[in-house]
Structure 1
Amino acid sequence: MKNAYISLFAAVWVLAELTPCLAAGREIFVSATSSPGGDGSRGAPFQSPVQARDWIRNERKAGKLSPGESVTVLLAPGDYRLEATFELEAGDGGVSGAPVIYRAEKQGAARVFGGLILSGVSFQPVRDEGILARLDPSVREKIVCCQLPAEVPLPAYPDAFVGMPPAPWLYFDGRQMPLARWPNVDAANGGWSVFSKVVDNGLPKAESPDPHAQKLHPGAFVCDDPRVGRWSLADGVWLMGYWTHDWAEQVIRVAGYGKDDGVITLAAPHEFGIMAGNWGGKKERRFFAFNVLEELDAPGEWYVDRKSRVLYFYPPRSLDQGGPVLATMTSPLLRIRNAAYIKFEGIRFEYTHAHGVAIDQSRNIELAGCVIANVAGTGVTVSGKDNVIRSCDLSDLGAGGIVMSGGNRKTLEPANNLAVNNHIHSYGLFKRTYAAGIVIEGCGQVAKHNLIREAPHNAILYTGNEHLIEWNEISRVVLESNDASALYTGRDWTTQGNVIRHNFIHDLGAGDSRITMGIYLDDCDSGDTIEGNILVRAGMAIFVGGGRDNAVSNNLVIDCSMGMHLDGRGVTRIQWSNPVDPSWALEAKAKALNYTQPPWSERYPHLASIMREDPQLPLYDSFERNVFVNCTDDVCELDSVVLGMLDRVRIASNLVVNTTGEPSLAKPPVYKGFEYLAGTPEKPVDLGFGNAKSGNYTLRKGSLLLEKVPGFQPIPFEKIGLYRDTYRPNLPNREPVGAMQ
């Protein structure tokens, strides 16, 4: 018996020595409703996570808390209002096996926020006769107002800006409210007004002898609606417009309006001029006006008189059940700098007029099961290495969802930052273009198993090297723009080694499918692998704009306007090394990364020899074993440059399917590399999908597709998208692919 006890003791001692992470750590308790003077115990909690952080700092400084001892800060349900950013620095983290954890005791019930909750009783009916006279008679009794406290910042609006307007912003029932605008968000025209007649496009006037006239200047256009004449321009009215291109929006103040001719003159120039020609060829341009008291006429709209500091609001419901929140902070809710081994679990981060969470030059930081919502900037920005954003919900964001950067492009050292199992939606509310659900930069980032939807522009925007983008579901993006895509990269020879596989991209765009893309390698982007993706109703599904060394294989394209595209714009645009436009200096970008020396020359040998091998041509591209079903316009579009060099591009073993033999659908290309299969209305082609009508593209055993395309690898459709874990217990029991737990 004695020997048994000794053996048991020895085993426990060895286990403790080998697995220090199992040692009991400290627990600190926080409650927003606790009394002042708490010590962090369960019976006397701290009042804020800031106090818990400071306690950890002091204990470590006093030598009472060792760096190898884990600490868990437990936040009770409640609201934790911040006056300033919650900052964590190098000394606030942990070590491997002993992290510092901030955890909500109940997932989603602890909220860290930077807003001012406006009580319902602080709002009163409008009594000011001057204000009432400016409101539409039908809503005068529905508008309420409140006096803002002196500490609420009300900075002036600039004449022009892109993205986030000056603070503050109003939220109600967990959603962003529209600043009084015309047309209204739910108007029949989609919330936009249009114009087609320009008086002055704002571009330089080359014929003028005045050198100052060679610069861009404010433009002017004709607005046919006379209601503009009702607006008080002296109080400031701004127009958010797609002035020339549908991928370049800008907000510009109205400088003047002519009631006789209907001409609106803008207060600042736009980079591309006003209606100065666009790729989509649309004759009309779009805009809406906001910050217009006279247009405060729809539920949810609000307006601030910045002189009197009075907020006017048209509440969508009674304020007896709770008032709106005014986001007043102008910095991130949480910032982690130069720290390591910190984890946040199950906490809500809401209401700031800035980015939500900023993780700067840190490693092994994890956000898990958190909510980041109602912020005016990006939900989460991450730089450093080995950081994880897992199973978080990000929504109602002024810019994008997650931005990941890090790694070393010169040495091709990966950052290994990971965005996994996140639901990102309703973003791009202020910055409407190039503010993607996930932005990937640097070297070696991973984005997998995310659900990204409901946005005006991109879902995933990437640049850099060796990124992995897989198992994501993307839908209903590119809803407001054109010449845009779900996944986008471009204008760089060096963004090589990126893999895009096993993604489900569907139901894109809200307009012309010929100028919406699924996967868009723009302007000579090179060296990407696109394999095993499913694209359904995704416009121009796979678009390769002049790049080389791109491998496109084993993709399934269904009900798209075009299957794939390849052009030789390095020849036709004469821009592959344009000294006038730095963004087109492709060779210079490569030289900056020592592309002819290891490791680049070893990893990307075709890039290393590019200047000796017709750099203007899209060489070494391959399109193999792709299946195109019911394309409406084109199956494969190649321009004249590519058609003249088909022997230098590999196109082989692709299948074109017209399920019912519909004569209006696209015919197979006349050049080699495509097999054609057509059915009839009475006997449509059955490729062997589980249930395509209900959106199930799993292949049945012995399917016709596998017979017709030897070597086609079944795409594990059932594993794409979000999966069940500790933070998402109610999802289908879908096994995640790869080591992600």
Structure 2
Amino acid sequence: MRTTACLLLALLTMTNIAHCDWNLHVAADASAGGKGSQKQPFRSLTEARDAIRAARDSGAIPTDSPVVVHIGAGTYPLDQSFELTKADSGTAESPVVYRAVQSGAAQLHGGIQLKPGDFRSVTDGEMVKRLDPSARELVRVCDLKNFPGEFQAFSDAFRGVSTGPWLYINGQPMELARWPNKDAANGGWAGFSKVIDTGLPQPDAKNESLRKPHPGSFQFENTRPSKWNIDQGVWLRGYWTHDWFDEVIRVASYDHSTKAIRLAKPHNYGIMGGTWGKAERRFHAINVFEELDAPGEWYLDRSQKKLYVYPPADFQSANIDLAVLASPMVKMSDTQYVTLEGLTLQFSFSDAMVLRNAEHVTIKNCTVANHARSGISIVGSHNEVRSCHLHNLGTSGISVNGGDRRTLTPANNRIVNNHIHDYAKFIRTYQPGVSVQGCGQIVRNNLIHDAPHNAVTYGGNEHLIERNEVHHVVMETGDSGAFYTGRDWTSRGNVLRHNYIHDLGGGDDKHINTMGIYLDDCDCGDTIEGNVFYRAGRAIMIGGGRDNPVINNLIIDCPIGLHMDARGMTWKQWNNPDYPSWRLEAKAEKFDYQHPPWSNRYPHLAKIMQDSPREPLYNPIRRNIFVDVSKQVCSFDGNVKKLLDQFEISDNLVVNTTGASEGIATAAGIQGFTNLGGVGIPFPAGFKNATRQDFQLQSDSNILKELPTFERIPMDQIGLQPDH
């Protein structure tokens, strides 16, 4: 009876919707003029979306009926964004679902697909001469004269992401011709230690141009730049002053006699302007045709539209993609109750998905890879990204914002069970695997690894960040943390619980400037509870803030267990209007922090200006276990040590499992810490299987006998979980 009624309605309204269960079908190899049926599918998601709109307008599909778009395996080229608006929304009872028939096999593709046969030997004599002799017979060139439009030139300075396109071979980003090569000594970086002109303003300079920021210069002893064609453009990606801020700047000139490199644009921190970390600065050159000398490197002659590549192995059977789409692959605005499931989004020179004012949108089991910018960016509430795989991204993985901080109304967006790795390929710093802002987001059971800088950055209120596994991040930067937030009294109520943070990079014997959890510059109001830190630098760093409980954490084989300082008492920036990002009280006033709901939720904040605001008070340290910490269990500055009698510190253990006389620190003289084991007296920890990094304490553990109130950390529930 229902079937007859559906067919009759479709005929009467003259729609193209042939399937009465409101199922539509899309196939990559479909013929033109499809009707959305299984036998006559549409050719694109856009056709399916437009058909749904038309059918709803005509009444063939009631607005309260669920719709499922079944997307067949294959490649779906995009030359513009696939957009969904309020008109494309579903309801709680009747969502709209775009689902791959075979998970991962339906690919939205934002690039040009090239063939190995499109590449020929280089025959232009002048170009051959510019190549290294070892590469002349190997480099291949592809003529892109049929590419519509022009390839824009690089700007003189930029943060990581150049103008497009980008080359991918067999699903991996290739390396723009560079020196030193990526696999060279020092990680592919060249160092310098002599600055000629920082580029910072010189107020007393006779030359007026030097009184304001100007391009800096430095001396580089290696003569390698002498082989580069500076006039055709050479860019240097460098950590010019700070190890947490990278920038790409064009070379303006190179003096062969003095070995001076002058940059084309000023760097806002100056060249070697002073930093906490290594004195030597570093850079590598990119987009240098003369350095096209290693498998996987490429170069685009933008004016001649010629693409050069040093072929990697198996090039003759390779899949070659040139990412050119310059807009997000998927855009949603004011969209509700829509699900994207099982899709693969690859090869754009933009973001993969951008959702604004979205509600109840679910992105599930999708693969997001090979984009010049971010993976998934969401602003809205009650959205979920679940069990997705994101990798090879130029900037961040997933960013989420929503809720109302003023009223402390949570957004309840959920970032759950995602595998995020190899991101921040282009912009190397402050492009995390997950970025959280707003109020009331949940970040749970994600696996995040292999990145130059942060894994998770956050700000705002009442976020729950739990059961995530993070490793091999902060791999080329310093003064940074796997989990990072900072410089805000109002970023409160956030809970970092039951995360496993291990095997971080960065730092050296002199500068241990990699942190597991980093509460920077007087950040306040975060709970650090039940986390496991293993080989994680300074495991926990509290940089001058207050109201940060450190409870029931397990710190293993880290050089420094807990750092706490009182920078608010000594730094001139503290709450200083001359430093806009430091205006801590002004930030709080924006939220009327002395009145409800803020005064009720954060009573210490409400009275902070009358309560020694520069002191790092109310940071309880309880039930933490420090195992084989090598340098300092607690790194407290002088002012913190003077305030220790005002702190709540109790029931913390310091364990020497080996009985070693050197390389194992104690917490001698610090209240609330008990040392177990010592020189020649090992104290077995009682982990379930430390060699496999299962640091669950067994029920008969000696540590639990000493500290029976220590609460179980659910190691088996951390990281990726089966998605049922």
TM-score interval (norm. to shorter): over 0.9
Does residue 81 in structure 1 map to residue 80 in structure 2?
no
Q: Where does residue 179 of structure 2 map in the other structure?
A: 182
- Does structure 1 conserve the Cα–Cα contact (< 8 Å) formed by 2:478 and 2:506? no
Q: What stretches of structure 2 of length at least 5 have no aligned partner? A: 1-18
**Paired residue secondary structure (1:139):** coil
Q: 1:186–1:74: structure 2 CA closer, same or farther, 3 Å change rule?
A: same
Q: Where does residue 676 of structure 2 map in the other structure?
A: 677
Partners of 2:148 and 2:289 lie apart in 1 by: 23
Cα-to-partner distance string for 1:568-621 (whole Å, 9 max, x where unaligned): 111110332111011100000000011001000000000000011011111111
Partners of 1:679 and 1:263 lie apart in 2 by: 55
Q: Tell me which of 298, 305, 330 is aligned to 1:302.
A: 298
Partners of 1:698 and 1:579 lie apart in 2 by: 48
Shift of 1:150: 3.2
Partners of 1:166 and 1:283 lie apart in 2 by: 32
Q: 1:570–1:69: structure 2 CA closer, same or farther, 3 Å change rule?
A: same
Partners of 2:584 and 2:383 lie apart in 1 by: 31
Shift of 1:189: 2.3
- Does structure 1 conserve the Cα–Cα contact (< 8 Å) formed by 2:506 and 2:514? no
Shift of 1:153: 4.2
Q: Where does residue 460 of structure 1 map in the other structure?
A: 456
Normalised by the size of structure 1, how large is the TM-score?
0.93
Q: Where does residue 33 of structure 2 map in the other structure?
A: 37
Q: Where does residue 436 of structure 1 map in the other structure?
A: 432
Q: Tell me which of 391, 399, 402 is aligned to 1:395.
A: 391
Partners of 2:565 and 2:185 lie apart in 1 by: 38
Partners of 1:322 and 1:695 lie apart in 2 by: 38
Q: 1:153–1:415: structure 2 CA closer, same or farther, 3 Å change rule?
A: farther
Q: Where does residue 405 of structure 2 map in the other structure?
A: 409
Shift of 1:211: 4.9
Shift of 1:210: 5.0
Shift of 1:230: 1.1
Q: Tell me which of 591, 594, 600 is aligned to 1:593.
A: 591
- Does structure 2 conserve the Cα–Cα contact (< 8 Å) formed by 1:152 and 1:328? no
- Does structure 1 conserve the Cα–Cα contact (< 8 Å) formed by 2:506 and 2:513? no
Q: Tell me which of 493, 497, 501 is aligned to 1:501.
A: 497
Q: 1:27–1:159: structure 2 CA closer, same or farther, 3 Å change rule?
A: same
Partners of 2:648 and 2:107 lie apart in 1 by: 55
Does residue 237 in structure 1 map to residue 238 in structure 2?
no
Partners of 2:119 and 2:245 lie apart in 1 by: 38
**Paired residue secondary structure (1:645):** helix
**Paired residue secondary structure (2:123):** coil
Partners of 1:668 and 1:239 lie apart in 2 by: 45
Partners of 1:700 and 1:152 lie apart in 2 by: 65
Partners of 2:319 and 2:701 lie apart in 1 by: 57
Cα-to-partner distance string for 1:439-471 (whole Å, 9 max, x where unaligned): 000100110000000000000000000000000
Partners of 2:299 and 2:459 lie apart in 1 by: 39
Shift of 1:187: 1.1
Q: Where does residue 103 of structure 1 map in the other structure?
A: 99
Q: Where does residue 264 of structure 1 map in the other structure?
A: 261
Shift of 1:662: 1.6
- Does structure 1 conserve the Cα–Cα contact (< 8 Å) formed by 2:457 and 2:485? yes
Q: Where does residue 173 of structure 1 map in the other structure?
A: 170
Q: Tell me which of 115, 123, 131 is aligned to 1:119.
A: 115
| Equivalent residues, number | 702
**Paired residue secondary structure (1:396):** strand
Q: Where does residue 26 of structure 1 map in the other structure?
A: 22
Q: Where does residue 733 of structure 1 map in the other structure?
A: none
Identity across matched positions, percent = 49
Q: Where does residue 53 of structure 1 map in the other structure?
A: 49
Cα-to-partner distance string for 1:39-70 (whole Å, 9 max, x where unaligned): 01000110111110110011111111111111
Q: Where does residue 141 of structure 2 map in the other structure?
A: 145
- Does structure 2 conserve the Cα–Cα contact (< 8 Å) formed by 1:28 and 1:72? yes
Shift of 1:277: 1.2
Partners of 1:175 and 1:322 lie apart in 2 by: 11
Shift of 1:685: 1.9
Task: Give 1:239's aligned amino acid.
Answer: L
Task: Give 2:502's aligned amino acid.
Answer: H
Partners of 1:537 and 1:340 lie apart in 2 by: 43
Within 5 Å, give how 1:190-201 maps onto structure 2. Answer: 190-201=187-198
Does residue 129 in structure 1 map to residue 125 in structure 2?
yes
Partners of 2:249 and 2:640 lie apart in 1 by: 42
**Paired residue secondary structure (1:524):** coil
- Does structure 2 conserve the Cα–Cα contact (< 8 Å) formed by 1:635 and 1:669? no
Partners of 1:498 and 1:163 lie apart in 2 by: 31
Task: Give 2:691's aligned amino acid.
Answer: K
Q: Where does residue 309 of structure 2 map in the other structure?
A: 313
Deviates more, 1:715-724 or 1:201-210: 201-210
Shift of 1:333: 0.5
Q: 1:423–1:153: structure 2 CA closer, same or farther, 3 Å change rule?
A: farther
Cα-to-partner distance string for 1:668-714 (whole Å, 9 max, x where unaligned): 13121100001566x63222210112211112113222221231101
Q: Where does residue 215 of structure 2 map in the other structure?
A: 218
- Does structure 2 conserve the Cα–Cα contact (< 8 Å) formed by 1:659 and 1:680? no
Partners of 1:172 and 1:178 lie apart in 2 by: 10
CA RMSD of aligned residues (A): 1.3
Q: Where does residue 331 of structure 1 map in the other structure?
A: 327
Deviates more, 1:94-103 or 1:118-127: 118-127
Q: What stretches of structure 1 of length at least 5 have no aligned partner? A: 1-22, 727-741
Partners of 1:147 and 1:636 lie apart in 2 by: 61
Shift of 1:531: 0.4
Cα-to-partner distance string for 1:378-422 (whole Å, 9 max, x where unaligned): 100011000000000000000010000011110000111110000
Task: Give 1:71's aligned amino acid.
Answer: V
Within 5 Å, give how 1:520-669 maps onto structure 2. Answer: 520-664=518-662, 665-669=664-668
Q: Tell me which of 161, 164, 167 is aligned to 2:161.
A: 164
**Paired residue secondary structure (1:348):** strand
Task: Give 1:544's aligned amino acid.
Answer: I
Deviates more, 1:565-574 or 1:438-447: 565-574
Q: Where does residue 441 of structure 2 map in the other structure?
A: 445
Shift of 1:146: 1.1
Shift of 1:219: 0.7
- Does structure 2 conserve the Cα–Cα contact (< 8 Å) formed by 1:449 and 1:720? yes
- Does structure 2 conserve the Cα–Cα contact (< 8 Å) formed by 1:153 and 1:167? no
Shift of 1:318: 4.2
**Paired residue secondary structure (1:137):** coil
Cα-to-partner distance string for 1:209-267 (whole Å, 9 max, x where unaligned): 55543211111111222121111111111000000110011000000001111111100
Cα-to-partner distance string for 1:268-302 (whole Å, 9 max, x where unaligned): 0111110121111x221110001100000001111
Task: Give 2:676's aligned amino acid.
Answer: L
Q: 1:236–1:199: structure 2 CA closer, same or farther, 3 Å change rule?
A: same
Task: Give 1:223's aligned amino acid.
Answer: F
Task: Give 1:61's aligned amino acid.
Answer: D
Does residue 349 in structure 1 map to residue 345 in structure 2?
yes
- Does structure 2 conserve the Cα–Cα contact (< 8 Å) formed by 1:548 and 1:618? yes
Does residue 275 in structure 1 map to residue 272 in structure 2?
yes
**Paired residue secondary structure (1:268):** coil
**Paired residue secondary structure (2:605):** helix
Partners of 2:574 and 2:673 lie apart in 1 by: 31
Partners of 2:387 and 2:500 lie apart in 1 by: 19
Partners of 1:719 and 1:355 lie apart in 2 by: 31
Does residue 482 in structure 1 map to residue 478 in structure 2?
yes
Task: Give 2:453's aligned amino acid.
Answer: H
Does residue 71 in structure 1 map to residue 67 in structure 2?
yes
Shift of 1:306: 1.3
**Paired residue secondary structure (2:55):** helix
Task: Give 2:637's aligned amino acid.
Answer: D
Cα-to-partner distance string for 1:614-671 (whole Å, 9 max, x where unaligned): 1111111110000001111100111111111222211111000111222222121312
**Paired residue secondary structure (1:655):** strand
